[in-house]
Amino acid sequence: MFGKLKEKWNVNWFQFVLIFTTFALGGSLCARTGNWLLNFVISEEHILYWIVYIPLISLLWPVCVLCVSIPLGQYKFFVNYLKKIGQKLRTLTKNE
């Protein structure tokens, strides 16, 4: 599975590890930041917290991943990755 991703992304193993590390750290940063922001307004005990949390995380994730990718040297990869995701989302919304 990892070999196929490595080939698809056309990267070496070191870059692959950095990319996976960026995904992990960016996701964790996103979850922590979203939780921190929402705890100012809403308690986790309320259902509204979770209704707001999901869209907030969806908006924060690209920003967090790009911020983490800079020190790990993977910024170019993630800019291209997010562009591809954006193109796919636009295509899906146009076809419906």
Is residue 33 predicted with pLDDT exceeding 80? yes
Residue 71 pLDDT class (50, 70, 90 cuts) = very high
User: Which two tokens mark 91?
Assistant: 């295509």
Contact 78, 66 (CB under 8 A): yes
**How far apart, in whole angstroms, are the C-alpha atoms of residue 80 and residue 9?**
11
Q: What is the pTM of this model?
A: 0.79
Is residue 94 predicted with pLDDT exceeding 70? no
Q: Using alpha carbons only, give the angle 85, 90, 95 rounded to the nearest 5 degrees.
A: 130
Residue ranges of domains in the chain? 2-95
